[in-house]
Amino acid sequence: MSSFTDLWREISDIGGSPSEGYVRFAWTAVEWELRTWFRAQAKARDLEFEVDGNTTMWATWNPGGVPGPAVVTGSHLDSVPHGGGYDGPLGVVSAFLAVDELRRRGVVPARPIRIAAFAEEEGSRFGVACLGSRLMTGAFDPERARTLTDSDGVTLAEALAGYDFDPARLGPAPLSDVAAFVELHVEQGRALTVPVGIGSSIWPHGRWRMDFTGEGNHAGTTLMGDRHDPMLTYAFAVLAANKEARTHGAHATVGRVAVHPNATNAIPSRVTGWLDARAASASTLDDLLSGLSAKIATRAGKDGTTVTITAESTTGEIGFSDALIERCLTTLGEKTPVLPTGAGHDAGVLSAFVPTVMLFVRNPAGVSHAPAERADDEDCEAGVEALADVLAELACR
């Protein structure tokens, strides 16, 4: 059995299973198990273990005791509800194995190599994606973070205190300590046909709330011609978003809906749907949204309903470091695919502040955020090799 298979197996029972998926939310008993595992891995390798004020875990390899900024790798350990096991943990497991590999090769880095595990990357518990890295970069206000509440009404400050983390320590950390950041991640959309690729950018993306308002009424007695049924306009919007995305070569999804009163025998008075849309360029995304909005407005006119579409969050394109992409290509071979992703990552947050790049490992099914998410062990081993190569390149030259 390979070292990857062994180390992977150590966490594969924590917070779920490959068949049922994983529920690994930040600052819970399950995450604490993963934190304990991380600490043990650092200790087993004689790496310096540290937890910073944002509860990011760090394991530092600095055999020469050299000062100066570090080459950072890693990812996150939390999951979406019933998500796959690879999104996040693959980057952390691979980081430890890459250090092992560098040692096996006899590499002595000229600057520190640090492994990071950021907290609450998925935003599954408190609703803010990449919260740990956003706090680190100052992109999210720690005062606001402390008052975020989970679905049980627990504040983030309370959740931290429950594990003896000090909520007062949340906040920006000096990024001058970071020379470069390399995040290895499972690819999430069947975009890779070889084991490993290099990330170029994160697609512009956004979330829009679509509020459809009609007239609540009796499902049995209201004449079809008298109805103002917002469910019809919602259904049209779902299909139109799919069609617009295909037309534009973009991605659009309506995965969340709320209905009032949500009763079998009542025409709803109100339906709210959330649109997630992403595209390779901001102008494509704008075109998609304006085309879709116009079509929905026309349909609402026919349905006798009203619709308002509100942006809840939008993010422009995030390009990774051209210089790092070049050095990855030199190291891994010029034929290595360079590809964008539609997903957000801690690497996307950090890239505004420090040179950043991502490595992707092939996902044969193209499934992510669901139990069927996976990567072959052989591809994961190739990912470890590639990460070791890139870390050697960045930490030794």
Site for a copy of itself in 76-105 (CB under 8 A): 80-82
What end-to-end distance do the CA atoms of the chain give, in Å? 33
Calculate helix-pair angle for 3-11, 89-104, nearest 10 degrees: 140
Asked if 284 interacts with a copy of itself (CB under 8 A), we say: no
Contacts of 277 (CB under 8 A, 6+ apart): 205, 206, 208, 241, 245, 250, 251, 252, 253, 285, 288, 289
Nearer to a copy of itself, 65 or 220 (CB): 220
Q: For tokens 């490959």, what's the residue?
A: 18
Q: Applying CB under 8 A, which of residues 51, 139, 175, 191 lies at the interface with a copy of itself?
A: 191
Asked if 369 interacts with a copy of itself (CB under 8 A), we say: yes
Lay out the site mask for a copy of itself across 18-57 (x = CB under 8 A, - = otherwise).
----------------------------------------
Strand segments (E) across the chain: 16-17, 21-22, 48-51, 57-61, 70-76, 113-118, 178-186, 196-202, 205-213, 217-218, 251-260, 266-267, 270-278, 306-315, 318-319, 338-341, 356-361
Site for a copy of itself in 201-240 (CB under 8 A): 203, 205, 207, 215-224, 226, 229, 231-232, 234-236, 238-239
Q: Cis omega before residue 172 (within 30°)?
A: no
Lay out the site mask for a copy of itself across 310-349 (x = CB under 8 A, - = otherwise).
-------------------------------xxxx-----
In this structure, the number of other CB atoms found within 10 A of the CB of residue 264 comes to 5
Asked if 254 interacts with a copy of itself (CB under 8 A), we say: yes
Nearer to a copy of itself, 108 or 219 (CB): 219
On whether the CB atoms of residues 289 and 227 are closer than 8 A, the answer is: no
# residues contacting a copy of itself (CB under 8 A): 63
Nearer to a copy of itself, 107 or 372 (CB): 372
| Min dist. Cβ of residue 110 to a copy of itself (A) | 35
Q: Applying CB under 8 A, which of residues 63, 255, 301, 316 lies at the interface with a copy of itself?
A: 255
Q: Applying CB under 8 A, which of residues 152, 153, 193, 265 lies at the interface with a copy of itself?
A: 265
Q: Applying CB under 8 A, which of residues 51, 173, 282, 367 lies at the interface with a copy of itself?
A: 367
Asked if 134 interacts with a copy of itself (CB under 8 A), we say: no
Write down the number of H helices and E strands in the chain: 11, 17
Asked if 16 interacts with a copy of itself (CB under 8 A), we say: no
| Min dist. Cβ of residue 285 to a copy of itself (A) | 12
Query: 164 burial class (0-12, 13-18, 19+ CB within 10 angstroms)?
Result: exposed
Q: What angle do CA 277, 279, 283 make, to 5 degrees?
A: 105
On whether the CB atoms of residues 234 and 245 are closer than 8 A, the answer is: no
Pairing of strands 266-267, 217-218: antiparallel
Nearer to a copy of itself, 133 or 368 (CB): 368
Stretch that binds a copy of itself, among 133-141, 158-166, 246-254, 387-395 (CB under 8 A): 246-254
Q: Which residues bind a copy of itself (CB under 8 A)?
A: 80-82, 187-191, 203, 205, 207, 215-224, 226, 229, 231-232, 234-236, 238-239, 242, 245-246, 251, 253-257, 259, 261-269, 274, 276, 278, 341-344, 366-372
